[in-house]
Chains A and B, each alone.
Chain A
Amino acid sequence: MTTLAERTESITTSGADLHLSGISKRFASFTAVEDLDLLVPSGTFFALLGPSGCGKSTTLRMIAGLEAPSEGSISIGGQEVTALPSHRRPVNTVFQSYALFPHMSVLENVAFGLKRKKDKQAIQKAKAGLELVELSHLANRKPAQLSGGQQQRVALARALVNRPQVLLLDEPLGALDMKLRRQMQLELKKIQTEVGLTFIHVTHDQEEAMTMADVVAVMNGGRIEQMGAPRDLYELPRTAFVANFLGKSNLMRGTVTGQDNGMLSVDVFGRTILLPADRAVQTTGEVVVGVRPEKITIDRVAAAGANQLTGTVIDVSFTGTTTEYLVEVEQIGLIGTFSQNRGQQPAQEGDTVFLAWDAEHSFGLAGDESVNAGVES
Chain B
Amino acid sequence: MSVDLRSKDEVLAERRKNRTGVFLISPGLLVLALFFALPVVILLAMSLYAKPPGAEIGEFVPGFELGNYATVLSAYWPELLRSFWFALIATVLALLIGFPMAYLVAVRLREHTLLQGILLVLLIAPFFSSFILRTQAWKQILADEGFVAQTLKFVAILPADGHLTATPFAVVAGLTYNFLPFMVLPIYANLGRLDTRLLEASGDLYASPITSFTKVTLPMSAPGIFAGTLLTFIPAAGDYVNSALLGNNRDTTMIGQVIDSRFFKVIDYPGASALSFVLMISILILVTIYIRRFGTEELM
Q: Please list the residues of chain A having a beta carbon within 8 angstroms of any beta carbon in chain B.
A: 64-66, 85-88, 91-93, 95, 97, 99-103, 112-113, 116-117, 158-159, 162
In the complex, chain B residues 145-202 whose Cβ is within 8 Å of any chain A Cβ: 195, 197-198, 200-202
Q: Does B219 contact A (CB under 8 A)?
A: yes
Given the contacts A99-B195, A102-B220, A66 and B202 also touching, CB distance less than 8 Å: no
Q: Name the prevailing secondary structure of the B interface residues.
A: helix
- Chain B contacts of A85 at CB under 8 A? 203
Bound CA span A341–B208, Å: 60
Checking A93, A99, A100, A116 against B207 with a beta-carbon cut-off of 8 angstroms, the contacting residue is A116
Q: Pick the most buried of A64, A91, A101: most chain B CB atoms within 10 A of its CB.
A: A101
Q: How many A-B residue pairs have CB under 8 A?
A: 61
Bound CA span A86–B197, Å: 13
What are 8 pairs between A and B in contact, CB < 8 Å? A87-B204, A93-B204, A99-B200, A112-B207, A116-B206, A117-B206, A159-B205, A162-B205
A61 to chain B, nearest CB (A): 8
Q: Indicate if the CB atoms of A97 and B197 lie closer than 8 Å.
A: yes
A199 to chain B, nearest CB (A): 15
In the complex, chain B residues 194-236 whose Cβ is within 8 Å of any chain A Cβ: 195, 197-198, 200-209, 211, 215-216, 219-220, 222
Q: Indicate if the CB atoms of A158 and B220 lie closer than 8 Å.
A: no
Bound CA span A92–B207, Å: 12
**Residue on A nearest B207 in the bound complex, by CB:** A116
B166 to chain A, nearest CB (A): 45
Q: Indicate if the CB atoms of A103 and B220 lie closer than 8 Å.
A: yes
Bound CA span A97–B195, Å: 10
A174 to chain B, nearest CB (A): 14
- Chain B contacts of A65 at CB under 8 A? 203-204
B207 to chain A, nearest CB (A): 5
**Residue on A nearest B296 in the bound complex, by CB:** A103
- Chain A contacts of B198 at CB under 8 A? 99, 101-102
Q: Which 5 A-B pairs have the closest CB atoms?
A: A113-B205, A99-B201, A116-B206, A86-B203, A99-B197
Bound CA span A97–B200, Å: 11
Q: Indicate if the CB atoms of B203 and A158 lie closer than 8 Å.
A: no
- Chain A contacts of B197 at CB under 8 A? 95, 97, 99
Q: Indicate if the CB atoms of A162 and B201 lie closer than 8 Å.
A: no
Q: Indicate if the CB atoms of B219 and A103 lie closer than 8 Å.
A: yes
> 1/0 per position for B78-104, CB-CB distance to A under 8 A?
000000000000000000000000000
Q: Pick the most buried of A64, A87, A92, A162: most chain B CB atoms within 10 A of its CB.
A: A87
- Chain A contacts of B216 at CB under 8 A? 101
Bound CA span A103–B296, Å: 11
- Chain A contacts of B206 at CB under 8 A? 87-88, 113, 116-117, 162
Q: Indicate if the CB atoms of B208 and A87 lie closer than 8 Å.
A: yes
B79 to chain A, nearest CB (A): 40
**Residue on A nearest B220 in the bound complex, by CB:** A103
Q: Indicate if the CB atoms of A112 and B200 lie closer than 8 Å.
A: no
- Chain B contacts of A66 at CB under 8 A? 200, 203-204
B174 to chain A, nearest CB (A): 35
Q: Indicate if the CB atoms of B220 and A112 lie closer than 8 Å.
A: no
Q: Indicate if the CB atoms of A86 and B200 lie closer than 8 Å.
A: yes
Bound CA span A100–B216, Å: 11
Q: Indicate if the CB atoms of B211 and A86 lie closer than 8 Å.
A: no
Q: Indicate if the CB atoms of B204 and A112 lie closer than 8 Å.
A: no
A133 to chain B, nearest CB (A): 16
- Chain A contacts of B195 at CB under 8 A? 97, 99
Given the contacts A99-B197, A101-B216, A103-B220, A64 and B211 also touching, CB distance less than 8 Å: no
Bound CA span A87–B219, Å: 20
